[in-house]
Structures are given as structure tokens and as C-alpha cells.
Copies of this chain bind each other. A is one copy, B any other.
């Protein structure tokens, strides 16, 4: 069984490319936005984590499979779950579907590492970040 955090993105006019569909680079930003929204419960939210506590979650590994194109006006549903929690790192899985038809759009995985942004060194995940991640962990 698994739980996921759901975030919805409305495709913007400027996200379309010369092929007439969403440019693939934007998908990674939607996933990052989903992570930021998921981290809202931490002290200061994701923005406070970065600007006040000077901690970040830079992505060190990405894997993505794109199954169907997305167009202007589409709504994309991003379900975020947690595949693995390490001392400093977390493996996030984002399942993207068309908002209405629920057609599969893409599966994207990010491994992010909790990083001290002043020294650019990894740090153990703070307790309030862990508290957000643990309930979203998939169980096998």
C-alpha cells in the first residue's frame, strides 16, 4: 500500500515548444514544485528551509519516462511518493497523469540530498523534513 501527495499543474501558454506540445524540461520543474508544496509543513515551509535555514534539497539523480504528450490547457496531476529515505537523501517518485482522463503521462524519479547551502555539503535530514517524508513512503 502507498500514500501520495497530490499536486496539480495547469499547463501554461509559454510551456509549449516548437513541436506544439509541452517542452520536456518543464516536467522536472513541476516535480520540483510538487516537492516544494509537499514540504509546506516543515518549519518555515520549503522557502524558509532554503532562505532562512539555508538548507536545500538539490537533485543529484533523475530518471524519467515520458509516455504521452501534454498540451496547452491540460491539467496535470502529480502524485508524489517516497521510495527510499537515507540519512541525507530521499528518493522521490512522481507519477504524472492527465488531470481529467487520468491517462499516464510520465513517471519521474528524483534523488535529492539535504544540503547545507552555505558550505554545499550534505547534512542529515532534519526531523521536520523526515516527518513529512515518512508517511509518504511506499511499502513493498
Contacts and interface: CB of A to CB of B under 8 A. Distances in A.
Interface centre among A14, A48, A69 (most CB of B within 10 A): A14
Nearest to A60: B66
Interface of A: 11-14, 16-21, 23-26, 28-29, 32-33, 36, 45-48, 50-51, 56, 58-66, 69, 71-73, 115, 117, 120
Given A12-B36, A62-B63, 13 more contacts: A13-B18, A13-B32, A14-B32, A19-B115, A20-B117, A24-B59, A25-B26, A25-B29, A25-B32, A48-B73, A50-B72, A62-B64, A69-B120
A17 B23 contact: no
Nearest to A117: B19
Q: Is the interface of A mostly helix, strand, loop or mixed?
A: mixed
A26 B28 CA distance: 10
